[in-house]
Structure 1
Amino acid sequence: MRLLTTALLFALALPALAEKPRIKTFDEAWKTTKAHFYDKKMHGMDWDALKAKYRPLAQEAKTQTELIEITNRMLGELKASHLVLMSKDAYQEHMLPEMGSEPVPQVGFEAIEIDGGLFVRSIFEGGPAEKAGIKRGDRIVKINGVSAKKSELVEQAGSDPGLPWPPLWYVRAEGTEAVTLTVESEKGKSRAVVVTPEPISAVEATKNSVRVIRHHGMKFGYVHTWHFLVAPIFQTVSNAMAKEFKKCDGLLLDIRGRGGSPFVMNAILGLFRTGAWDKPVVLLVDDRSRSAKEIFTWAFMKENLGPAVGRTTEGAVLGSQFFPLSDGSCLLCPVVDGRMYTKGDKLEGKGVTPDHVVEYPLPWSNGFDEILEFGKDRLEIEVKRVKAKAAVAFLVRMAG
């Protein structure tokens, strides 16, 4: 099954393994990429020459982590999204549970490095970090007393080695053992926060995000879809429309971060195309909205379903497939040009710019969300416009 997914969709930790790394892993990744990469011209690169360049380095790798890093450097030469080698642990302990909507113990936030500091970028709604008071924009200074940059608990949450975007990071949970974070919510003012990991998934976080926001006398439904990977995400949105949002004036559909599959993407689009939701809607996107979410944004804007607000999306739009390798690791490889989903429009390396671009500063932002706030104001305008149009139509009917 072909999935339009993303290497950034899951926590792609690359932990060192005890056994000696196998060069066979490198060879399989090279061979599989050559056989299945969507562009048979390999983006103009000499794939045999790249093997000759990187294989000696891979043979010298002392750990599985090092071997995977070297392999990904080779893959990165193709400058393509959705092309990454994942470790056995990353694939089996993080990706597969998420694909099955299985909760696993997590601290519950993603962070990004800015000017040498690690800042919280997104937080699982209802997760342990949120419960402990961690907010977007907080700087993680130390973890269990060790500098965040040196802590063995900090793992890369995945990246496309061929794209220029900095990777996301997360704090690895060791079962449900509590983690003490030294946090700065204001520059230079730190505090200790104890977070006890709990089992949670992106699906549960999406469900937890469902709420009704009151804004200037109006009621807006809000849901944050963490990814478009599995059917329960669609079901969460659909159920909220029929229940919690039934008496709302409009909808804020937040698709910031990660990617997904075309199946869930089309199912959610269908809710608007068929009139299952016939009230105003504003779409929230950012520069980490990837893959299927970018195609969703493109279609949403092309079909004039509502205004899009936020940041230009990431530009990672290739149809990909998972290829498990013999050692248990997994290669994610692009097998389809994303333009087949966008009537020829190229989004790879370009992204989609929303109708309204909003500045979105992160460091020490104390949880403030400029995109959401702008979205609420924009939705208010849309609701008033629709109500005014309905009032005019009513008067015309009465006059006739």
Structure 2
Amino acid sequence: MIPTRLLTSALLLLSFYTGLQAGNFRNVPTDTVPSVQQLDLICDTVARYFYDENFIVDRFPGIRQRYRAMVLDQPVPEDLPDLVNTMLQEFETSHTAFYTHDDDAYYHLASIFYFLPAVKHLFGDEEIRYKSIGLLTQRDRSGYRVSSVLSGSPAETAGFREGDLLLQLNGQPYSFSQLQELEVGEHQFTIARDGQRLQLQVTPQLINPQAELEEASRQSARLIPQEAHQLAYIRLWSFAGERYYELLKEQVLFGTLKDADALILDLRGGWGGANPEYLNLFNQQVPVMAFRGRDGQAFTYDSQWRKPVVLLVDESVRSGKEILAFGFRKYQLGAVIGTTTAGAVTGGRVFILPDQNLLYLAVNMARVDGEILEGRGVEPDLIIEDRPETPEDEVLEGAVRYLKKVLDN
């Protein structure tokens, strides 16, 4: 059984709510700042704020010297993001990356921190909106690769898949900034998949990143009928904010999922940021309220999900979502199914650089009930790997089989 106070409040600020450094903010075009000055500023910030002082003292000076020499040898501004991220990968630490306007993560991260004045100022005190077809991507030297296709998005309708490599947009080399410049209407995307080039027609939408992830989570909710049972399924594409928890409660307590016999909560993909208190939805040690009026009409209010529930996880489950998986398994709320999570649990902080780029940096090591999950992750109770070469979601199918046995018994 899980205690009512299941985890300490000290963890509530993990990942997305540890603050933001807005010093030296200026509207300076990227190409006017010499690459070596940009790198020096990034390195100065890292040296001052990165959580591991021993690493900064023992290893970082040599790393910094090597990458500074690379920039001096070939100071091409377009190459700087890849070079900085390659440098930061040597830290082997989560919540440590460099984002520019050419990354969809730039807009997602900024929208998560939008409650802070410095971020609002960065976007002219206007709501953050970007052009999107519903893809989350990862950018490296090979280009933009699809890491997630959001539920119910234009990209899902058009047939995009996880793992697709984005090659061209309207016949020109694809970039996220190019997507932002498109006129309203349908556009042609060229992708690489399984050694083939495919062309897909999609109409981007102008949308707030947080609203996009919330709607994708809502669109994912559905019932999975079985012979004698109904299973509820919902995929939370983000947990970085109360709005996603409220959506989950709305769907499973009052919406179309409430009468199902069991719940599949899919944490795979998207963003973390979950508050550990969200596990209380599955806490059985909360009373049910029953009311009866003078007219004889009665109703009950139950704020908890009291039927079987499983979590779906894999290596894309990071940060606050990993804390949920840890608590879910430790307090035996149900089975965790899939593969080991990312092991990405530190306290991250965003720094706005003078060229408006974002440096995301691990500034705190974290322990969850005394345990370090960084670099280790959470192992599932039932290991099922989803093979990318097959179109089926083998983890989901395994969860359905597992719950069918639970309900039949």
- Could you tell me the TM-score, scaled by structure 1's length? 0.76
User: % of aligned pairs identical?
Assistant: 29
Distance 1:192 1:370 in 2: 27
The equivalent of 1:75 in structure 2 is 88
Measured against aligned partners, the alpha-carbon deviations of 1:169-196 in whole angstroms (never above 9, x if no partner) come to x9945444533245688x6777643111
- After TM superposition, the structure 1 = structure 2 runs for residues 284-323 of structure 1, keeping only pairs within 5 Å, are 284-323=312-351
Letter in 1 for 2:406: E
Aligned Cα root-mean-square deviation (Å): 3.3
Distance 1:19 1:218 in 2: 62
Q: Is the 8 A contact 1:3 1:320 kept in 2?
A: yes
Counterpart Cα distance in 2 of 1:293 and 1:371: 17
Q: Which whole-Å CA distance do the structure 2 matches of 1:142 and 1:227 have between them?
A: 27
Structure 1 residue 257 and structure 2 residue 269: aligned?
A: yes
Match of 1:224 among 232, 235, 251: 235
- In structure 2, runs of 5+ residues without a counterpart are 1-11, 18-28, 115-126, 287-303
1:346 and 2:367 equivalent? Answer: no
- Residue 371 of structure 1 deviates from its aligned partner by 0.6
Q: Which residues in structure 2 correspond to 1:119-158 (within 5 Å)?
A: 121-136=147-162, 139=164, 143-144=168-169, 152-154=173-175
The residue that corresponds to 1:268 in the other structure is: 278
Judged with a 3 Å threshold, the aligned counterparts in structure 2 of structure 1 residues 117 and 97 are, in CA distance, closer, same or farther, namely: closer
Task: Select 1:239's aligned residue among 240, 244, 250.
Answer: 250
For residue 96 of structure 1, the aligned residue among 90, 110, 119 is 110
Number of corresponding residues: 348
Q: Matches of 1:136 and 1:77 in 2, distance apart?
A: 26
Q: 2:202 aligns with which of 179, 191, 195?
A: 195
Q: Is the CA contact 1:142–1:183 (under 8 Å) kept in the aligned structure 2?
A: yes
TM-score (norm: length of structure 2): 0.74
Pick the aligned partner of 2:393 from 365, 369, 388: 369
SS in 1 for 2:275: helix
Aligned to 1:179: 187
> How far apart are the structure 1 equivalents of 2:129 and 2:249?
22
> 1: CA distance between counterparts of 2:220 and 2:130?
18
Shift of 1:102: 5.4
Kindly provide the amino acid, as one letter, of the partner of residue 148 in structure 2.
S
> Does the CA contact (< 8 Å) of 1:17 and 1:65 recur in 2?
no
Query: Structure 1 246/323 Cα, relative in aligned 2: closer, same or farther at 3 Å?
Result: same
Q: Give 5+ residue unaligned stretches, structure 1.
A: 7-15, 156-169, 386-400
Note if contact 1:38-1:337 (Cα within 8 Å) is conserved in structure 2.
yes
1:37–1:333 contact (8 Å) kept in structure 2:
yes
Q: Hey, what does 2:124 align to over in structure 1?
A: none
1:332 aligns to 2:351 (yes or no): no
| Separation in structure 2 between the aligned mates of residue 26 and residue 314 of structure 1, nearest angstrom | 28
Match of 2:60 among 36, 42, 47: 47
Change (3 A) 1:322 1:99: closer
Secondary structure of the residue that 2:279 maps to in structure 1?
Answer: helix
- For residues 328 and 371 of structure 1, the distance between their equivalents in structure 2, rounded to whole angstroms, comes to 40
C-alpha separation in 2, matches of 1:117 and 1:24: 26
